[in-house]
Structure 1
Amino acid sequence: MEYLVEQAWWAPAAIWAALYSSDYILTHLGRRLYGALQGRYIQIESYELNPFWQKTIEAGRWWSTRFAVALTLSTGAVAWAGFLTSGGWETPGQGSRVRMVMSAAVGAGLLLEAVVHMRHVRNVVLFRSLAVANDVEGVLRYPRWLSYQQSSVELGTFAGLFFLIAVIDRSAFCLGGGFATLWTALRHREYGRAALLRPPRSRITMGD
């Protein structure tokens, strides 16, 4: 990725915009496929785990001003990080630390999105398979705290993987991805603990 940035500083921003948009679209697609099951096989208290997006996703709004603003601001930030990482602005003796930090920042965004996309693909495949299955029995109920717990464990596992690659390859890009996934894992762990302390909801979301 560092080589790609050196060749085209705008590439991370283009990749980020595509990933951020597809993340939003795939979230809606997964939520719609889950809703089509109408409570068969699996019931989830909250499909969207990010509190910032929960109301938007649960309402099924494919377009929102919040998304447009978030996409614009985040893409601009990644573009700036990519420009600084490229080193084209540097004068002799400057910039190595800035490039390392910016490379880590780009990795934080892109690698976290990569993990999230893996989840989306898994959910879409699962819900489509369940929609046509005739040999699956039982119902799995996911309270909010359990969804956050499982998310935290999975993200923590990927954080460990990214840190390992960062050490072996001396990659600031992977180091940033490790910190981003670890931070999100810790946040989800805290969300899960908070949800566990709250009184249970009267029902779990069964779909549209």
Structure 2
Amino acid sequence: MIDAFLIAHPFVVVAVWAALYTSDYYLTLWGARLYKETVSTYIDFDGSYELEQVFKKDIDALRWISPEWVYQLGLSSSVLMFCWLLTVRILEVPELFLVVVGAYVLLEAVVHTRHVSNVVLFRTLKTRGAVEGRIKYARWVTDRVSKAQVLAFALVFIVCFAISAKIIFLGGALGCLLNTLRLARQARRRRMTATSITPTPHS
């Protein structure tokens, strides 16, 4: 069973996580490059292509090696190993480790679907006649759309858990729901900020 394998081989879990986290960064970099080179002519995301504040400078600079990314990868991998030690070795509740694995890995898989979608769209927009005009999204709109996408996957994982009773899907649902709440708060904060600095038209 996959559950027993993941519990017995935490280093495999960390390796999978590291691979996903790495491809996440470089897919973001690819999307940012396409956005800068072509797509920004047609679409303005009201700031950086990168949604995560800690990576904005590196992604905006199209930096292939990011010290922040290395640090975050090391930190998150260490947290995974600590969770395995705590839940499997100390508490002897391995199901909790599967929840953590689902929250990490399945949420990252969701992020990958967004990256792939963006890259396909951006490459398509390079085709002559594929797009006309220009649109600018307020930053909070991007956050709200991302929230809706992640929430949809949370519901999918809940259904998968209900059908299969696999704990890892429960973890994926929880990870997505937490991310949804974070994006909702972020969108609300940015919308309030944008509203407060928008000048009131004179009658």
Counterpart secondary structure, 2:53? coil
Partner residue, 1:124: 119
**1:74 CA drift (Å):** 1.3
Q: Which has the higher contact order (CA 8 A, sep 6+)?
A: 1
* Contact persistence 1:160–1:178 (CA under 8 A): yes
Letter in structure 2 aligned against 1:54: K
Shift, 1:106, TM fit: 0.7
| Residue equivalent to 2:15 | 14
Query: How far apart, in 1, do the equivalents of 2:23 and 2:39 lie?
Result: 25
1:197 paired to 2:195: no
Q: Is residue 2:58 matched to residue 1:63?
A: no
The aligned amino acid for 1:48 is: E
Compute the displacement of 1:170 (Å). Answer: 1.5
Per-residue deviation, residues 46-87 of structure 1 (Å, max 9, x unmatched): 3111222223222322222211111112123224445677x6
Q: Distance in 2 between matches of 1:11 and 1:84?
A: 17
Letter in 1 for 2:160: I
Answer with 56-65 or 167-176: which moved more.
56-65
Partner of 2:201: none
Tell me how far apart the structure 2 counterparts of residues 25 and 133 of structure 1 sit (CA, whole Å). Answer: 26
Alpha-carbon distance, 1:39 to partner: 2.6
1:145 corresponds, among 126, 140, 163, to 140
Deviation (angstroms), 1:7:
5.6
Percentage of pairs with the same residue: 36
Give 1:6 deviation, angstroms.
4.5
How far residue 153 of structure 1 moved from its aligned partner, in angstroms, is 0.8
The residue type equivalent to 1:14 in the other structure is A
Which structure 2 residues correspond to residues 95-114 of structure 1 after superposition, within 5 A? 95=92, 98-114=93-109
Q: Which residue of 2 aligns with 1:133?
A: 128
Q: Distance in 1 between matches of 2:40 and 2:19?
A: 32
CA distance in 2, matches of 1:34, 1:83: 42
Count of residues in correspondence between the two structures: 195
**Corresponding residue SS for 2:129:** coil
1:9–1:83 Cα contact (<8 Å) kept:
no
| Corresponding position of 1:206 | none
**Which structure dedicates a bigger proportion of its chain to helix?**
2
Structure 1: tracts of 5 or more residues without a match: 203-208
Specify every segment of 5 or more residues in structure 2 that has no aligned partner in the other structure, as ranges.
199-203
TM-score between both structures, scaled by the size of structure 2: 0.86
* Superposed CA offset, 1:143-199 (max 9, x none): 101000101111111111111211222121111110111111111111111111113
Q: What is the TM-score when the length of structure 1 is the normalising length?
A: 0.84
Runs of 4 or more, structure 1, over 6 Å off, are none
Q: What is the letter of the counterpart of residue 22 of structure 2? A: S
